[in-house]
Amino acid sequence: MAADDSRPESGAFFARDSTVHPPALTPSYKTSVARSPKHAKLSLGTTLSEMTGPVFGHDLLGDLDNDLILNFAAPGESAIGPRIVVHGRLLDERRRPVPGALIEVWQANAGGRYRHRKESYLAPLDPNFGGCGRVITDDEGHYCFRTIQPGPYPWPNGPNEWRPAHIHFSIFGHGFAQRLITQMYFEGDPLIPRCPIVRTIPDEAAIRRLIAPLDMNHTIPMDARAYKFDIVLRGRRSTLFENRLEGN
């Protein structure tokens, strides 16, 4: 059943809507066969440790942490690829801003290759591109980072499968247990509806919320295009997060 957007908001608590999540076992996404649970769910109560514990220090961020074009580049050089700005707001279920959250991003380079020792794609590495960055939301929940548009890449799920261009997002709240993971896609990418991972999501509206539209208002003339990606933490308009549902 798809999420019902006509439901009124009621109260501050929203149980996670499992109907917009992919089933744990989706054989078209090959690794889900090995990952999916073989036993019945167990339910564990939450404890104080999910709300407390060590937190990151805001002063740890460097000046270039939200600039993937420069943060791994040699002095005077920059990453190769289409220059873009990605920005948006982190919001709660009532569209109130969430300030002070750490957003980390990672992505392939313009050729679709990750800087990772297990990466096997033949596209070349860009010596001036690391592929990761981070930013903290401001008082209005805004975040913004500059990067190059990642390329699509093939992956060994079937004979000829390609991931659409995407950027991985991690959002940290104020405790280590408050971490959410998702992926942002780019408006107009014809690989999105063909992707076996995207197709595991049963709710079309949930898929649309993962696709960032081109935002001409925030382009930088003669420099960079812009994409807008708002992230909603909870509620019926919640962004789809990849974190496992309880018991899975």
Asked if 167 contacts 150 with a C-beta cutoff of 8 angstroms, the reply is: yes
The catalytic residues are 114, 153, 163, 166, 168
- Cα–Cα separations (whole angstroms), residue 117 to 29, 30, 81, 125: 23, 22, 22, 11
Q: Token match 């496992």: residue?
A: 244
Token pair recorded at residue 223:
């420099």
For Cα atoms 155, 161, 164, give the angle at the middle one, nearest 5 degrees: 85
Asked if 142 contacts 103 with a C-beta cutoff of 8 angstroms, the reply is: no
DSSP letter at 58? G
Cα(137)–Cα(118) distance, integer angstroms: 32
Q: Which amino acid is located at 154 in the chain? A: P
Token pair recorded at residue 81:
């690829």
Neighbours of 128 (CB within 10 A): 17
Instruction: Report the run of H or E that residue 32 belongs to, with start and end.
Output: helix 31-35
CA atoms within 13 A on the CB side of 152: 14
